[in-house]
Amino acid sequence: MINEKTGTLKPEEIAEDIIKGLQKNKIEIYSGRQFLLRIVNKLSPWLIEKIILDTHKKIMKMRETKEGRRKIEEMFKNIELYIQFSTL
């Protein structure tokens, strides 16, 4: 479920989508709103490029602070742990 305030998915949900995609031998795996991005990309590639660049800028800005780096690392750690325990 997407967080209404931040517009983000929980790491567990992303990991679950990755696992499902891998089980179906998919080459491309979309999670949450990414599926919509794929559709919009067909209609307006320049808009998707702008969205991706803006997101990249936000992540790079987060990396500038210790707290931001901690949040990024925690998110990836949670995804990794969920995948490990879900595939046991």
Asked if 23 contacts 41 with a C-beta cutoff of 8 angstroms, the reply is no
Tokens read off for 42: 């067909």
Q: CA-to-CA distance for 63 and 76, rounded, in angstroms?
A: 14
DSSP state of 64: T
57 — pLDDT class (breaks 50, 70, 90): confident
**Closest C-alpha to 7, from 45, 66, 54:** 54
86 — pLDDT class (breaks 50, 70, 90): low
Q: CA-to-CA distance for 75 and 8, rounded, in angstroms?
A: 11
6 — pLDDT class (breaks 50, 70, 90): low
Q: Is the pLDDT of residue 16 over 80?
A: yes
- Domain locations along the chain: 11-86
- Tell whether pTM > 0.85: no
Q: Is the pLDDT of residue 5 over 60?
A: no
pLDDT at 36: 78
